Chain A
Amino acid sequence: MARKKLSEFRAKSILTAALGVEYAGVSVDTDDKGWQKHLPSKGRFVVKVDQGVKGRFKKGLVKLDVAAADLAKAVTELGSRGYRYLLIEPFAAHAEEAEFYLSIERTRAGNFVSYSRLGGIHVESKAGAIKRVRLESSSDSAAAKELGLPPESLQILADTFDDNYFAFLEINPLVITDGTPQLLDAAVEVDDEAAPFVNERWTPDDFRDPSQLTPEEEAILELASQSQASFRLKVLNPDGAFFLLLSGGGASIVVADEVNNQGHGKLLANYGEYSGNPNVEETYLYTKQVLSLMLKSKAPRKVLIIGGGVANFTDISKTFKGVVQALDEVKKPMRQQNIKVFVRRGGPNEAEGLAQMEKYLLREDLHGRVAGPELTLSKIVPLAAETVTTGAAS
């Protein structure tokens, strides 16, 4: 479905194994009660957050040159900042000038390598030094030559990238000692749809996401993993006023765009969408989570927008049954909070679906507006916005 960040531990395990270099990293999951037992007992170490966070060093999420005796303390301290996964690696001192940059990315035109002898945490300020060429054997040697990397090593990295369905690989800094590449920091994005093709060299358990999920978002991830249909939910502002129950990857962005265009971007509570003809039960479960968020919001005036384009094959009558089922469970608190529902949708069995929705909303005093394809998709937003800004249902 998308590109996902792999844990640095898994990324390096794959890369070092391919390069034939020993890897002494230890992955710590602070949710695992016995994590302290896995700590190394001798040496000096680097401790860093391994959760797909960008710019870790600048954010203070990397601790250098930690003595073995202080490892537990370092882990606890970083963990207390809300991070579950950490990585411990042997500390290797090196000169700042030795820090190179190397990345590979997958594009339609082929895999491209970017490289520079000016790597490290300030690489962005020295971006002019980065060269980018397509990975072909002739250009490989230019990149390898400039970095002093053995061409075979670059070839191994390129093959490993491809065989493991990586989408993006960044090694920064890359330090080359006596022709042996040391991957001090490595970030890898994989194509999550490739999981069936990598023979468990990586699995979805290796995906790392810096954001912390709300219970509602977790519930939707769980729902999505068990269904043929597609579900997505992202909380943007827990105390927002515009709650979106949208269908379709494209239409959902159109509606969210319009909330922003109308000047209410900051009041946008969530983004999400369901598509691919979910059944009544799945639509009910999805709706329930959006409604749960909505009732918790402290915004003084709130609206629910049920929006979507003219569906190709999602059954409107069926999916709306699930929506109504979920609405029915919270109709009282919705009435108490004076929340109105605004609907714009089309597709198979739309007449039946829209009629049943309208009837229900009118009966339960939740009715804002129910419209089919005769209303422009984005037009439902200003109608709903009026309620938020003036408190009046149109």
Chain B
Amino acid sequence: MTHLDIIRLRKLDPKVVALGSHRGIIQSMLDFDYLAGRKSPSVTAIVASGRRSERYFFGPKEVMIPAYNTLPELPESARKAANLFVNLSSGRRVLRSSREAMDQLPGLVGGVIFAEGFPEKHAIELYREADARGIWIIGGASVGIVVPGVVKLGAIGGTQALQLEQSRLFNPGSIAVVSSSGGMVNEVIRTVATTGHSLSFSLALGGERFPVLTPEDAFLAAQADDQTKAIAYFGELGGDDEYVLVDLLKDGRITKPVVCYIAGTVADLFDTPPQFGHAKAMAKTDDESARAKAAALNAAGAKAAPTYQDFVDSIAALTFKTKLPDPEPQAAKLSARKPALISSTVSGDRGDEVYLVGTELLDLASNNSFAHIVISMFLGHRTKSRELDEFVDFVLRLLVDHGPYVSGAVNTIVSARAGKDLVSSLASGLLTIGPRFGGAINQAAATWLEGVERGISPAQLVEERARVRSYILGIGHRKYRSDLPDPRVAKLLEFKSSLKDARFTNFAQGVETETTRKKGNLILNVDGAIAALMLDLLSEKEGYDTARLRALVDAEFFNGVFVLSRSVGFMAHYFDQSRLDEGMFRLTPGQVAHIDNEHTGF
């Protein structure tokens, strides 16, 4: 009984999670998908550290495949839809990552392990665990499995589109090719193709001592598959898995014709034969020698060829040739593509016209508010809700300036008086925006998001922060107090009326209730209110889940509106200083406190 069911695999809509990344292999899987006529890539997620997405070609065009640092970070829908994995991580991570895939992907059918150097003990453990769960796992050190026209999981069949066509992977046939060796599986696939046959399916067991999917599993899968008429097998010296095949043949559990070659007769020349290329390729006993295994297979009714040429000839002599002509070759079209230097979802030309977030520029500008265009472009898509647009419009107006006293304005003024130009003076003001000035909105958003995500109470958050003596950004004001409320915050909170749950705003106000009990001026300030309301509007009106909100926080999105709005103020101060033209700004010694080091302890 094997869990590898080729008939079922043919009916599957493959959704593959790549555990680790390997450009050539993933690209070749997408090329296979495209040439097989799929409308979208079979690889739906990549688990690899570093990026949010990786760019690949799907046919002549480029697509982004979403990437995640860890498997649990996959959106629930993607985790549930996944049914296959290709494990491209290193040998030492294979056991853990494969186990995690079995735990996290409820619809998992099977997977392939590419890494070489996967400890024997781990292979045996995985063999038992996969078996208990009814999942097949091919490898380690396997180039994968391919079912023509359906799925290619791994490097098998080649990594260039031209190779895939030369191996007739889009014209299903009747020969199952099974090989311990990854290089030889491809060689034999090519032989099948050039002798007028084509594949029903093919897989590489991998050259490790204990392949998780055994030759027995592969043979039983071929026997059970209605499309497979004959099996071509490439084996090597070492190990005794072939004797199980002998038993299958003798017992009549394999009745389809088997042609095979067991490599390694050369080992007989040596007293102590060398370790050949694969881990298992070392015969410890006479039974494990290539000669003995070939003889046993022959005696059981397989055709074990004495030389490789005889093996090729016996494949050619099979009478299950493919009748349908191959589909029109398309690989050449894919050979000249070049990856773009940058990607953009915000804007670009279509024909002679400029498009912003999917809409022609003049159309967008004529029919929408500035705030709508701003927030749509910041998010990378047109917003759906009027409420968010109106909120952003108000915030843009509200944050435009806060007097010449704040650091950014002072810097702009000093630069302007030093005779610098508009852009330099504006930039010197903008460059002060950060953790202490103006950057509080994003920090506050991070805090509210964390609180809601963790499901803790506002009191708990306050307690945690108090314990490490850390400020809560978004809370506290120099002048306003609970008995002297900030009128701007009151105005902002009017937007709460359109919200249903207002999870983030309620949380922020809960925090305020706690902090104002300690000190009257620890009120929810403008930054904290903007952050909370923006989170709620994105969540309720635009359907953002916490993962997408987290991505916005990581990108410092919540400071964007401040930067844009306050640029108006900085430019106003620049123009103002130009008009006043007071000459260079300089401090006098009396305006600097001269501190004696001895008294400060520095």
Contact = CB atoms under 8 A, between A and B. Distances in A.
Contacts of A258: 307-308
A374 B264 CA distance: 24
B266 A260 contact: yes
B119 A276 contact: no
A148 interface: no
Interface string A157-175: 0000010010100000000
A165 B181 contact: no
A197 B308 CA distance: 40
Contact of A379 (B143, B190, B309): B309
B183 A249 contact: yes
Contacts of B107: none
A249 B163 contact: no
Interface string B242-271: 000000000000000000010111101110
A117 B76 CA distance: 60
A191 B121 contact: yes
Nearest to B95: A197
Given A234-B274, A249-B277, A377-B308, A313 B119 contact: no
Which of B118, B120, B159 is packed against the most chain A CB atoms within 10 Å?
Answer: B120
A260 B237 CA distance: 15
A373 interface: yes
Contacts of B312: 376
B531 to A, nearest CB: 44
A211 interface: yes
B184 A250 contact: yes
Interface string A238-265: 0000000001111111101111110001
B182 A191 contact: no
B158 A312 contact: yes
A95 interface: no
14 contacts: A194-B121, A230-B116, A232-B275, A236-B269, A257-B266, A259-B266, A260-B266, A310-B186, A311-B158, A312-B156, A346-B187, A373-B194, A376-B191, A377-B308
Contacts of B263: 250, 253-254, 257
Interface residues of A, number: 57
Nearest to A373: B190
B471 to A, nearest CB: 43
Nearest to B240: A107
B194 A312 contact: no
A108 interface: yes
A79 interface: no
In the complex, the 3 A-B pairs of residues with the closest C-beta atoms, listed nearest first: A250-B181, A249-B277, A248-B183
B165 interface: no
Nearest to B91: A193
Interface string A357-377: 000000000000000011011
B119 A236 contact: no
Given A232-B277, A265-B269, A378-B308, A197 B183 contact: no
B160 A348 contact: yes
A313 B159 contact: yes
A257 B277 contact: no
Contacts of B307: 257-258, 261, 378
A313 B25 contact: yes
Contacts of A273: 277
B234 interface: yes
A196 B121 CA distance: 13
A236 B189 CA distance: 31
A312 B236 contact: no
Contacts of B117: 1, 193
A276 B350 CA distance: 43
B596 to A, nearest CB: 56
Given A2-B279, A236-B270, A257-B266, A312 B183 contact: yes
Contacts of A378: 307-309
Which of B91, B127, B263, B306 is packed against the most chain A CB atoms within 10 Å?
Answer: B263
A257 B160 contact: no
Interface in A187-202: 191, 193-194, 196-197
A108 B183 CA distance: 25
B223 interface: no
A230 to B, nearest CB: 7
B156 A249 contact: no
Interface string B175-219: 000011111101101110010000000000001011000100000
Nearest to B189: A310
A249 B278 contact: yes
A347 interface: yes
B165 to A, nearest CB: 13
B209 to A, nearest CB: 8
Interface in B257-311: 261, 263-266, 268-270, 272, 274-279, 281-282, 290, 306-309
Contacts of A265: 266, 269
Contacts of A349: 160
B128 to A, nearest CB: 9
Interface of A: 1-3, 106, 108, 162, 165, 167, 191, 193-194, 196-197, 210-211, 230, 232, 234, 236, 247-254, 256-261, 265-266, 268, 271, 273, 275-277, 308-313, 346-349, 373-374, 376-379
B281 A253 contact: yes
Interface string B145-189: 000000000011111100100000000000000011111101101
B527 to A, nearest CB: 48
B124 interface: yes
B93 to A, nearest CB: 10
A194 B210 contact: no
A251 B281 CA distance: 12
Interface string B98-132: 00000000000000000011111100100100000
A271 B209 CA distance: 20
B435 interface: no
Contacts of B276: 232, 249, 252-253, 271
B488 interface: no
Given A193-B118, A254-B308, A265-B269, A347 B158 contact: yes
A230 B115 CA distance: 12
Which of A108, A251, A346, A377 is packed against the most chain B CB atoms within 10 Å?
Answer: A108
Nearest to A276: B116
A1 B116 contact: yes
A258 B263 CA distance: 10
B120 A106 contact: yes
A313 B155 contact: yes
Nearest to A378: B308
Contacts of B237: 253
A259 B306 CA distance: 13
B179 A250 contact: yes
A194 B119 contact: yes
B234 A250 contact: yes
B92 interface: yes
Given A252-B277, A257-B265, A312-B159, A165 B119 contact: yes
A376 B311 CA distance: 10
B543 interface: no
Contacts of A3: 209, 279, 282
A240 to B, nearest CB: 11
B277 A312 contact: no
Given A250-B236, A312-B143, A312-B182, A261 B265 contact: yes
B116 A106 contact: no
A145 B281 CA distance: 37
